[in-house]
Amino acid sequence: EKKARLAQDSTTKGLATCRVLLAELEAHQDAWPFLTPVNHKAVPGYRKVIKKPMDFSTIREKLITNQYSNWETFIVDVNLIFENCERFNEDDSEIGRAGHSMRIFFDKRWAELLM
Ligand SMILES: Cn1cc(C(=O)NCCN2CCCC2)ccc1=O
């Protein structure tokens, strides 16, 4: 709801909620492909294809070092993980399916916590 969104945008409460949400994402059974940066030496083509890599450990570091101004900038980075995954992986693949599962989980949870 609009008022709630405005209230949470600027408060530390919004970013504290992001820490809760990030912990849930990292604990999810399908999070394994996204926990650390993709090793582009081990994954041919990744560095060329994916211009803005992102992963949960990078988001955690950015949260801890206060690099997110509000929860919306946090959401942008989480969605980048899922967009990168869809771009690089077949839908019908282990990692592709993990990405879809994580996106469905995330969309539901942030709506519950931040809207
Ligand atoms: C998101 N993503 C991840 C990979 C990947 O290989 N991740 C490593 C997965 N392993 C888990 C235990 C050790 C490493 C490849 C393409 C991709 O889009």
| 80 pocket-lining for ligand 1 (C-beta < 6 Å) | no
Taking the CA of residue 99 as reference, the ligand 1 atom at the shortest distance is 1
Alpha-carbon torsion 86, 89, 91, 97, what sign?
A: negative
Provide the pLDDT for residue 3: 76
Alpha-carbon torsion 7, 52, 24, 66, what sign?
A: negative
Q: Ligand 1 centroid vs 96 CA: distance in angstroms?
A: 11
The answer on pLDDT for 4 being more than 90 is: no
Q: What tens digit of pLDDT does each residue of 57-104 get?
A: 999 999 999 999 999 999 999 999 999 999 999 999 999 999 999 999
> Which pTM value belongs to this model?
0.92
Provide the pLDDT for residue 91: 98
For helices 71-88 and 2-10, angle between their N-to-C axes, nearest 10 degrees: 100
Displacement of CA 71 from its chain's centroid (Å): 12
Provide the pLDDT for residue 114: 84
Lookup: tokens for 107:
């969309």
Q: Ligand 1 centroid vs 8 CA: distance in angstroms?
A: 33
Q: What tens digit of pLDDT does each residue of 6-33 get?
A: 666 656 778 999 999 999 999 999 999 9
